[in-house]
Structure 1
Amino acid sequence: MSNFTDGLNSEQARAVTHVDGPLLILAGAGSGKTKTLTHRIAYLIGELKIFPSRILAVTFTNKAAKEMRQRLAQILGEDSENRQFMPWMGTFHSICVRMLRMDGENIGLDKRFLIYDTDDQISLMKQIMKARGLTDKDIKPRAVLSAISNAKNEMRSAEDFSASTRGPREQKIAELFFAYEKALKDASALDFDDLLIKTVELLRSKPDIRHKWQQQFEHILIDEYQDTNAVQYALIKLLVNSRRNLCVVGDDAQSIYSFRGADYTNILNFERDFPGTTVVKLEQNYRSTGAILNMANALISHNIHRTDKNLWTANGDGVEPKLWQLYNESEEALAIANEIQAQIANGRQYGDVAVLYRTNAQSYAIERAFGSELYSV
């Protein structure tokens, strides 16, 4: 057992060695959640002798899945490139594709269904709009597709959307929604949202298939649970069997995908949804200094709906964070450039400095303030 808990703190080790029943791991920022989740899977396989094919491990990105698979393979002495190693580790979408390829015919899907990416969707919507005499000046194709995606993430059909429209713009989107769904069906195609919607439909409408998949997965682990939306939440509940070996990892204070339907209350309500849940809090932060954590804890304490945790670190207090209140983006960019120059004068290298911004559009003012000499470094 020591191999699977080596290098872990006491709470991380408690999460790793939990055996049966629902487990909620509240993992604060920089608390080693990926390490904990990886070691837990290793423990299930190496100590409890669970076959890798009986473990469903869901990540939010392919990059995260690849990183976790590589770490896990290193712990267990496996080949991370072997397709048979952790065959059910991946994103919600990749997992659903596989399930639909295997069982989608039961709800009328062609086994060879196409998957439309964003470019395919835009092209299709433009065709639909053109056939109706609409142009970008009337309504943007991306705006229509965004509205459709939001509806699907809330598990609302075109009929549901149409029934709740307000005003001519939403009525027009509803018409395009119906046409879009028909065009997808005619092409034997699904968009990314459909992959989840159709899997939920399959599991809900076919009890025998739902039972098969519930028996397939002895343990289910979900990363970034605070960013799950309504359809992902429904999918998880449909896949959990009577033993309820569901482990979710997340932090309500780090939810960033509300703009695409993520519902952080899923993690707040986990104990209600799965009575008897074991809760493990990962509160030791390995990334930041005490001064940064004190500021973060103070800000988070004002959240009305939140879990009770307090991040701490053994890294020392460090330098107090600075808050600049500036007039506009140009003044902000100049302040950033001046601060970097001051750091360089104190002996730092340009490679020691990172500038973070929320959207790509914000980089222009910063680049301009840096000037060609500094920016080319």
Structure 2
Amino acid sequence: MAETTSAPASGPAPTADSVLAGLDPEQRQVATTLQGPVCVLAGAGTGKTRALTHRIAYAAHSGAYVPQRVLAVTFTARAAGEMRTRLRDLGVAGVQARTFHAAALRQLQFFWPQAIGGTLPSIVEHKATLVADACARLRLQADRARVRDLSAEVEWAKVMLVDVDDYVREAAKTGRGEPGGLDLATVARVMRTYEDVKADRGVIDFEDVLLLTVGILDERPDVAAAVRQQYRHFVVDEYQDVSPLQQRLLDLWVGGRDDLCVVGDASQTIYSFAGATPEHLLEFPRRHPGTTVVKLVRDYRSTPQVVGLANTVLSQATGAHARARLELIAQRPPGPAPTFTAYDDDVAEATGVAARIAKAVRAGRPAREVAVLFRTNGQSQALEQALADAGVPYVLRGGERFFSRREVRDAVVLLRGAARAQAPGSELGGEVRDVLSSAGWTERAPGATGAVRDRWESLQALVMLADELAVKRPGSTLSDLVTELDERASAQHAPTVDGVTLASLHAAKGLEWDVVHLVGVSEGLLPISFADSAEDVEEERRLLYVGVTRAREEIHLSWAGARTPGARATRSPSRFLDAVLPGAGSVPGARRGPGQAGQGGSRAKTKTPAKCRSCGTLLSSGAERKLGRCDACPPTYDEAVFERLRTWRSAVAKEASVPAYVVFTDATLTAIAETAPTDTTALARVAGVGPAKIERYGQQVLDLLAQPD
């Protein structure tokens, strides 16, 4: 079951001490804490993959771990491939770094003959056909949307460990509604019939791989013992995304031992619809007594301006996740201020964003370092058209896999053949350019768009990968490049293609760019219209946070008042921007985009820890800092004053036809009532009261505060 990676790069062999060099104190603590359970709470951009891979490398080079006894689990093939690449560069071979499903499938294939007998059934890649057949057997209409919804419900029930017999009760308890427009009892019948269809065809689905592995490990002590003997040390990345089914599998792998390191961030939980829950992360220290908890909060990815916006977005969060949020501390020099731009309609927004990107690309910004992120895939069409019209190349993330493209497969065949005849001492980059020239690659990008440009970009990505390999591992040959490509193809770890990335916020998780444009940041899109519970809305807030933290240098947020040109503007900016739009005073260096009123940018300032004015304890959340007191201390405002402010806010909001929070949020209103400022200077010190609010409402608020009770 063990996996072997290729030999490490040439040059001085890494040592235990050299592996620790360059780590910050918290990362070093992660890397050197090799005994007992470890829980790493790692914010976005804080170097968690670096800490994890250096932990494994340090353990291997110091002799504490045998690499073949380490199982590192993550959630995407790309992340697993990146982890293997980093470990190889650190001189560690033999570690198995895989997704939950890939690791389970290897074990299932290995143990199936002895545990079950015969050959493992084939795995269906998509459920749609089987679900449609199940509906047909039950004489239910099954259009594409219904089949998609029912397929998702089948997956949800399995990853949540909900048996078909218990489905109606559990689905009702968790408010699943009517999947596919069917009542829960009918959905349960579809699920039973779906299992019959699978049995008749002799196939299993994606979730069955985990369920069957769990079943074998649970029922066969000899198999469980063999797996635990093979793997003694476990590392789990993105632990906030673990489902109950994956947690059950992990428990069986570990078998009650404590050599387990988990890494995650509750504020990046955005896959609850797929069964992900951060409760396993948040409860880890309680379930594993003696856990070492390490927090990574130094953000090396983004500028202080981007980090400030990300922190502010989360500062208004509520619920259990909010208590676990990490306040990021930027480590990079200051950069451009975030921009906030309103457009008349979606077409105008797409055109405006494309024009801004085209200008940046002409000025020398690589297109591959720019991304446009959106909430729903349906938003991409206008953006694709606008970028095409502007002559900007783009890549739609979620399309055909890189290594499945015909030109890539043909190029790899050519490189493999050339590797057999390569002369010693040849320069890798030049050799690759010569080989790929016969496949249509040119030094200059073609002027054409469409398929011609797509083909060139695929080949250019291979050229760039060769250049990167030559720098990272001097002396690399064509054979080394082919080996690298084979490993990346197996992990679907594609090289970067030179085009602007278009992606949904969900698909952008785990990626980063120099410049990020977040479009459609309006009510109904973010949060999405069907987010009708407080829990759902908070997940939408976390989705925005994930989007913001993808940016290294620049972040641009925009929204449109209407969907189509000429339509009445009915959309308003997302409520998640409430703390940053009024005067932009809550974000260091924030400013408005073109055509909007607002204040100029300013440099990010170092914040000193805030303390509760009542008990003196440090304030941990944005809401507490805004109020100036901790949640444990009682309010200190006069009830009559607070009610006057609330009544006034309601009247102002009604007159302006805007939600009340656009005037002042509840937290800001409470802070005003508690601090009772007597002049505009004091009022301006209240978080959430920027210059624009002072100009618009300042005197009215002061008059209300001055009224006798």
- TM-score, normalising length: structure 2: 0.48
Note if contact 1:158-1:177 (Cα within 8 Å) is conserved in structure 2: yes
Mark the CA change 1:165 to 1:308 in structure 2 (over 3 Å): closer, same or farther. closer
Note if contact 1:110-1:188 (Cα within 8 Å) is conserved in structure 2: no
Give 1:192's match in structure 2, choosing from 194, 206, 212: 206
Note if contact 2:241-2:276 (Cα within 8 Å) is conserved in structure 1: yes
Give the deviation of 1:13 after TM superposition.
Answer: 1.2
CA distance in 2, matches of 1:371, 1:73: 39
1:301-349 Cα offsets, whole Å, 9 max, x none, are: 333323253211231232221223445423432432343366468x354
1:340 aligned residue: 357
Are 2:284 and 1:270 equivalent residues in the alignment?
yes
Give 1:155's match in structure 2, choosing from 152, 161, 168: 161
The residue matched to 2:247 in structure 1 has which SS? helix
1:115-170 Cα offsets, whole Å, 9 max, x none, are: 1111xx22222333333333324972222211111111111122222555777533
Give the deviation of 1:294 after TM superposition.
Answer: 1.6
Give 1:99's match in structure 2, choosing from 107, 116, 119: 107
1:21 aligned residue: 36
1:13-64 Cα offsets, whole Å, 9 max, x none, are: 1101112111111111111111111111112222134222211110111121
1:302 aligned residue: 316
CA distance in 1, matches of 2:228, 2:92: 29
Give 1:114's match in structure 2, choosing from 114, 122, 140: 122
Which one-letter code corresponds to 2:301 in the other structure? R
Mark the CA change 1:258 to 1:374 in structure 2 (over 3 Å): closer, same or farther. same
- TM-score, normalising length: structure 1: 0.87
Percent identity (aligned): 34
Give 2:186's match in structure 1, choosing from 168, 172, 180: 172
2:134 aligned residue: 128
1:229 aligned residue: 243
CA distance in 1, matches of 2:46, 2:144: 48
CA distance in 2, matches of 1:77, 1:61: 21
CA distance in 2, matches of 1:201, 1:266: 21
Which one-letter code corresponds to 1:62 in the other structure? A
Which one-letter code corresponds to 1:205 in the other structure? E
CA distance in 2, matches of 1:137, 1:309: 44
Note if contact 2:40-2:262 (Cα within 8 Å) is conserved in structure 1: yes
1:59 aligned residue: 74
Give 2:87's match in structure 1, choosing from 67, 72, 96: 72
Structure with larger RCO (C-alpha < 8 A, sep 6+): 1
CA distance in 2, matches of 1:210, 1:123: 34
The residue matched to 2:90 in structure 1 has which SS? helix
Are 2:49 and 1:44 equivalent residues in the alignment?
no
2:588 aligned residue: none
The residue matched to 2:183 in structure 1 has which SS? helix
1:311 aligned residue: 328
Structure 1 unpaired stretches of 5+ = 79-84
Which one-letter code corresponds to 1:323 in the other structure? F
CA distance in 2, matches of 1:112, 1:137: 32
The residue matched to 2:235 in structure 1 has which SS? strand
Which one-letter code corresponds to 1:18 in the other structure? T
Which one-letter code corresponds to 1:13 in the other structure? R
Structure 2 unpaired stretches of 5+ = 1-15, 173-177, 394-448, 450-709
Are 2:286 and 1:280 equivalent residues in the alignment?
no
Which one-letter code corresponds to 1:132 in the other structure? L
Mark the CA change 1:373 to 1:328 in structure 2 (over 3 Å): closer, same or farther. closer
The residue matched to 1:29 in structure 2 has which SS? coil
Which one-letter code corresponds to 2:166 in the other structure? D
Mark the CA change 1:207 to 1:89 in structure 2 (over 3 Å): closer, same or farther. same
Bigger shift: 355-364 or 88-97? Answer: 355-364
Give the deviation of 1:192 after TM superposition.
Answer: 0.7
CA distance in 1, matches of 2:34, 2:207: 33
Give the deviation of 1:215 after TM superposition.
Answer: 3.4
Which one-letter code corresponds to 2:58 in the other structure? Y
1:81 aligned residue: none
CA distance in 2, matches of 1:161, 1:322: 46
Give the deviation of 1:172 after TM superposition.
Answer: 2.4
CA distance in 2, matches of 1:258, 1:77: 35
CA distance in 2, matches of 1:338, 1:139: 35
CA distance in 2, matches of 1:289, 1:49: 37
Note if contact 2:162-2:170 (Cα within 8 Å) is conserved in structure 1: no
Mark the CA change 1:182 to 1:136 in structure 2 (over 3 Å): closer, same or farther. closer
Note if contact 1:20-1:243 (Cα within 8 Å) is conserved in structure 2: no
5 Å matches for 1:349-360?
Answer: 349=365, 351=367, 353-360=370-377
CA distance in 1, matches of 2:252, 2:328: 34
Note if contact 1:106-1:202 (Cα within 8 Å) is conserved in structure 2: no
Q: What is the total number of aligned residue pairs between the two structures? A: 367
CA distance in 2, matches of 1:323, 1:219: 47
CA distance in 1, matches of 2:235, 2:44: 19
The residue matched to 1:279 in structure 2 has which SS? strand
Query: CA-atom RMSD, angstroms?
Result: 2.6
Note if contact 1:367-1:375 (Cα within 8 Å) is conserved in structure 2: no
CA distance in 2, matches of 1:342, 1:202: 58
CA distance in 2, matches of 1:188, 1:110: 12
CA distance in 1, matches of 2:143, 2:298: 53
Note if contact 1:102-1:111 (Cα within 8 Å) is conserved in structure 2: no
1:82 aligned residue: none
Mark the CA change 1:273 to 1:301 in structure 2 (over 3 Å): closer, same or farther. farther
1:321 aligned residue: 338
CA distance in 1, matches of 2:335, 2:26: 25
Higher fraction of helix: 1
Mark the CA change 1:169 to 1:354 in structure 2 (over 3 Å): closer, same or farther. same
1:145 aligned residue: 151
The residue matched to 1:281 in structure 2 has which SS? strand
Give the deviation of 1:277 after TM superposition.
Answer: 0.8
CA distance in 1, matches of 2:68, 2:370: 43
CA distance in 2, matches of 1:138, 1:320: 44
CA distance in 1, matches of 2:288, 2:268: 22
Give the deviation of 1:208 after TM superposition.
Answer: 4.1
Give the deviation of 1:375 after TM superposition.
Answer: 4.1
Mark the CA change 1:271 to 1:130 in structure 2 (over 3 Å): closer, same or farther. same
Note if contact 1:60-1:223 (Cα within 8 Å) is conserved in structure 2: yes
CA distance in 1, matches of 2:92, 2:70: 18
Note if contact 1:215-1:241 (Cα within 8 Å) is conserved in structure 2: no
Mark the CA change 1:323 to 1:264 in structure 2 (over 3 Å): closer, same or farther. farther
Give the deviation of 1:361 after TM superposition.
Answer: 1.8
The residue matched to 2:263 in structure 1 has which SS? strand
Bigger shift: 330-339 or 357-366? Answer: 330-339
Give the deviation of 1:261 after TM superposition.
Answer: 1.1
CA distance in 2, matches of 1:76, 1:285: 26
